[in-house]
Structure 1
Amino acid sequence: MCRRNCLLCLLWFTFSWGAMDKPKAAQRVADCSTVPSLFLSKAKRPTVSSPTTVCQDSLVQLNVRDFVKGSSFQWQRGGVDVSNANDSVLVIRGSQSGSYSCLLRSPLCPSPIVSASVIINANSKPLVSVAAGNPIGVPCKEGTVKLSSNSSGNGALKYQWYFENQPIQSATSNVFDAVETGVYYLKVVDAFDCANTSEALTVITYTPPKADLSTSRIGFCKGEKVTLKVTHGRTYLYQWLQNGQVISGSRDSISVNQPGTYSVKVTAPNSCTTESNQISVVQYDDPLVAIVASGNQICPGGTLLLTAQGKDLKAFDWKKEGQSIQNETKNTIKVTEAGNYTVAVRDTNRCFATSTAFKIEMVAKIIVVLGKISDFCGVNSSVVVLKGSPSGGEFSGNGVMKDTFNPQLAGYGEHTLSYTVKGSVDCMNGEAKQTVRISPPPQLDLGPDQRLLKGHSISVNAHLGVGYTYEWTPTKGVSDATHPAPTLSPAQSTTYRVKATGPSKCVAEDSIHIVVFTQLYIPDVFSPNQDGVNDTWEIKGLEDYPEAEVAIFNRWGETIFYNKGLYQAPFDGTINGKPLPIGIYTYLITTEPHSASYRGHLLLGR
């Protein structure tokens, strides 16, 4: 006895030391004399208790409690092992009544322990039978068939009549007047909640069948169908119609994908037919949706608002590159990235559609450039075509007409010209400016024409200021053809022209005529006496004037000598070969046309 108690103490100590890893129920086992308890519950509901008297077709569950983990089990019925019943739970069908116990073998106990017994009693189901009387009433108008039941069972019975598998409201007695043709049965429940149903009974009355046609929606979207349902009857025959024409379909429901007016004829086994109400089914148009925005460009760090535009739109699913964007389910979206955006929508008719792709491109800040325009000298310059980039901008300023600049319209002075580009986003906006100067043309004056003794020089001044360049023509006889004030040394009469070009393309021109003359030696006396000395009136230097005119007049103003051109025959004191008398004569010498003349007196001696 002592050895047995020591063993039990050792086992109790070992069990207590490992109690933290054991089920709570096992911690209560103090020794091998403790008998495990059994708990009867609903099947698969181990915490809901069940009475020990059960219906034949019900399931209950026996549960072993207060056992050590690692124990093995063997269920027994009437002291005999139940085949394959080796778990802590045993499911029992109500028809398997008897006394049940469990033989438990614990790893802590040397001998098996038998639980207390639980006696389960089976309660038989009620006996249910139904019968139908003869139909009464007016055929295909109205009528009834009396249904009655002769049922028996334990205690007070409860009744529920069913029509086409649906409970009939307030039909809770053993008799019922059936109005509609169809399949009926009766469910009977006894005092122990044991239930049984009768066999199905097909009842044919004089009442025409019901034909209540209904649908969950009266329209369908493209690619969808609408289901129409009419009053169900297992004994009914159905004939469906679309727009009054028979279509296929013989059941109590039909799915259609064509618009039209639908109805159905329902025929009962009593040969009575009822045509249902009509339902018009329409096909909804697909929703139209478009993405609208202020533009299709976005700046780095900027946003662009996209709006789904359409009629009766209800649900939205925004996508980028075909992938849904999380939490974007409103009709607008603010985007910050380039890409192809679409929106899938559902309208109030529950139809779906997807917009065409809306492409957004990322653009960099533009650099606006206005083509350089040179300054103008005077207002008579040609109209200048303005150039700006990027294209699409607008020119403005004095003298600007569309894309041209007219100096005459602008007038003298400094003018600011602008080229402005406006885009849909800030980084596509910009402006470029430049100042154009229109100066009055300079006035160049070389002074009056000059006479210059052959072999001499003359200085002229064409200076107009800083920034001007000069070009003299002809260059012969010019000390520096690019100087504003050169020295002119012509060998013969010459017209010099100077062209001065300023910083604003101002051009001024002027000319000066330099008459180069040779000093003439004009004798004032000569003696044509044939002595070989001063026999002719010779004018030195006249040979340099090929167009010279020489005329000599007597005291009465009559011309006694005239020569034009080269002085080939000097005056010899005769006229028509006859000697002129001694005396004083007057001469007029013109060296060049429109030039100065020489006048004087000539003494003719002998």
Structure 2
Amino acid sequence: MMLKKAKYVFFAVLLVISASNVFSQTIEKDGRGICPNGSIRLYINNPNDYTGFSWQIFDVTSNSWSSYRNGSSTANSYDLSTSDAGDYRLIAVPKSGGANVVFNTVTVVNLTSPPSIITPANPVHQICKGDALVLNGNIETGVYYNWRLNAGALNVTVPTLNAKEEGDYTLEVIDQTTGCVTTSAPYKISYFPPLNPVITPVPAVCATSVPTFNINANPTGGIFAGTGIVNTTVGAFSPSAAGVGSHTVTYSLPQNNGCPNIVESVVVKVNNPEPKITSSTGGNEFCIGQPASLEASTGFTTYEWKKDGVVLPEITAKLAITSNGTYSVKVQDSDNCTVESSPFMATFENQVQPSITSIPSVCGTNHAAVPLVGLPVGGVFRVNEQPASTFDYAKLGIGTHEVKYQISGALTCLNGTVSQKVVIQRIPEVEFAGDIFMWKGAFTILQSNITDPGYLYEWLPNSYLNDATLATPQAKPDATTTYTLRVKSPYGCQDEADVNVVVFEKIWIPDAFSPNNDNVNDFWVLSGINAYPEAEVKIYDRWGGVIFYSKGIYTPFDGTQGGKQLPAGAYNYHIIPFPNMPSLELKGTMMVFR
């Protein structure tokens, strides 16, 4: 029972599979139908599963299917392009084997296209170049518009077009649902034949001084305009009015049929080459021995240099020079305009050697101001780095002053400086502290307030001196003498002064005596002391006590104090010949013997 049931199931499945192979296949088409003068493509999506394709069309007359012939041959491909309406089917052999498969029937119908008509706003076929003619297409619903000029798309998708170019205009009207297209009859537009003006080219004008000339154009009757045109009818062009530069001149020619003028133009180039010579120094002067050059304006095609009228071999814009002369350069520009520069006078200079009139060094400031004079003229004086025109001794004062004269020029060789040191020496003022007192037979040092070793010294008289040219000589006169000191500075400034050397007679002081009443050295006798009536004599014991004092006329010391004999021994003494001259005080020790 179960085996029988399984058999029925297998048979049912086999029937389903067979039915699927025969009836479930679908024919596709690439449109809704056939547009006028068009076709439609029929095809299946799985052609690789089949072979032996055969397309059939239903013949209404015979009420039967017949093979569809595409022209003179039978259609035997998986796809079919046809322009005939009707019912179509496809029979194919499965590559997997089994019975032929009959694809489903598909119906192809004929479609209609929307109308396309061009109507000009103005019924003309000729326009002026630059004008436009409005072309209107028929207004339809459910359509697209596409304008073409000479079959090329204009990317205009509205029913109205402003046609400016000449050629054949067509309008495609496309049904939005079926895609059927109707192309209008072409509407031809052309331009009125133009009168094309031609201007004779004008060669470059080489100077603004060239006289006015006419620019030629054909046909005549137009109007000239532009910078430099001084007569618009004949095209008179004035280079001086135009100036240097490239000037566009237009020629406007009227047209027939009321069309706009056609304008042609020409460029008139006015040159005025003016070669200028500049120098490496920026002027006409150069330094001998230093590099020097001249340079002409750049931008020219050729250069010809001359010196004193003689052509030089240099042919570039730069020329090295080494000597005086008159230089010039002839240039030519790219338009073959030739001109020669103005002459350039070159002068070579030696290194300047400035000098100043010597200014004397002096002693003291009591001198008239000296005008400052330098050569070459035109320089600047400075005294101690301050601008000056005179050297004023009184204002400048004692010291060493620098006078500087500086010449400044545009060139290094025209720059120079010279200087001089001027010394205003202080005049020596010789002074002595006072008279010098000394004992006869002794020596003293003569010294003023000036001891500078750079000075010259002269003592007069030169007697009793160890060296009369020293600042501090030793003097040992045997009598009071007045010495004169002359002092001269290194710059010759001098002064002199006197000093008195007072020589006193010497007091003879015994270094011992014996007061024993033997009438020999019983007294301490000071020989010569009576020459000093104001003299003071003091004798001290070992403890510093005064045991003897005398002032005025000296009474010799007898070795007693208050009538009592002093013991033998050493005693100190102070002898002052002049109480107001403590420097002459005599000190020492003497012995008392018994």
Larger radius of gyration: 2
TM-score between the two structures when normalised by the length of structure 2? 0.36
TM-score (norm 1): 0.35
